[in-house]
Amino acid sequence: MTVSALVVTNRPEHLPWWMRQVKKQTRQPDEVIIVDNRSDLTVPWIAGGCQGLLGGGWFARHVDPSTTLGEMRQLALGLATSDVILWFDDDDWYHPQRIEMSVAPIESGRYDASVFPLTHYYYVKERLAHDYPGGAGPHLPASAWRREVVSRVRFKPLKTGEDYHWIHAQVHPLDGSAPQVPPHKVRWIPDYGLPNIGGIVMIHAKNSWQTPLEKVTDPTGALTPLPSYAPKGVPQEMWDEDLILLEKMRVAHYS
């Protein structure tokens, strides 16, 4: 099956980080879709520096700055042509086998979607981390979808929260209605205990950035020394370098 990697961004300065996350994947996408609403320099930047970098086809589309994230995600879906659609965020960390693990359940023929339900906070300076407060839930940038099911729900034209509404309508409606993708067709992939993996699969960086350590009060978020989260199969030096780059991006964006 062919695979499309999709990202929407209003922070094109994050694209080098995102491309780093995709380039290191053990399974490369056949197609890369980037939709940006902030800088019309995005397309020539990719053409000049990243064409061929990811080992697959690529397409970048700049849209008007007033275009919402929901509208951008809907546009990205319309541009994708592969059998499997994978969502990414431009500021998250992903295990090198994330694409491989996400696509396998769909390729088996048993599932129409796969989701990693658990994400993480991290604090590089303090060398501490903890699980996502409130427990597990579906997260769009940690999901993959058979092409035939993505059109069952349209993204709401929201500036924020569009991902939350879309994925809940697909697999876990909050209003008690039936999900668009039946439960038996969704593979919930555990974030710990995967064969030969262990450690973590994804860090949802944005939430870490917006919740300083001193504001952590959720009792489910027990703090753990960050090195213990290090994923298997990832050299320690790569893990450390990625965390340092994430911290630099946080400082540059939120300071």
Q: Say if residue 128 is exposed, middle or buried (CB neighbours under 10 Å; 0-12, 13-18, 19+).
A: middle
Instruction: Give the side-chain half-sphere CA count within 13 A for 161.
Output: 2
> In this structure, are residues 45 and 15 in contact, taking their beta carbons and an 8 Å threshold?
yes
C-alpha 128/C-alpha 95 separation (Å) is 19
Least confident of 21-30, 107-116, 117-126, 199-208: 199-208
Average pLDDT, the chain: 81
pTM score, whole prediction: 0.86
The type of residue at 5 is A
Range 146-158 average pLDDT: 95
Sign of the Cα torsion 156, 162, 168, 170 reads: positive
Domain that holds residue 26: 3-254
- Residues in a beta bridge with 33: 6, 59
Hey, what are 107's tokens?
Answer: 């390729």
- List the structure tokens of 45: 């930047």
Nearest to 81 by CA among 1, 20, 163, 167: 1
pLDDT at 210 over 50: yes
pLDDT of 184 over the 90 cut? yes
Burial 1-38 (b: 16+ CB within 10 A, else e): eebbbbbbbbebebbebbbebbebbebbbbbbbbbbbe
pLDDT digits (tens, 9 = 90+) for 4-61: 999 998 887 788 888 888 888 999 999 888 888 876 656 565 655 555 555 557 777 8
**How many separate domains does the chain show?**
1
Look up the CATH number of the domain holding residue 229: 3.90.550.10
Mean pLDDT of 228-244: 82
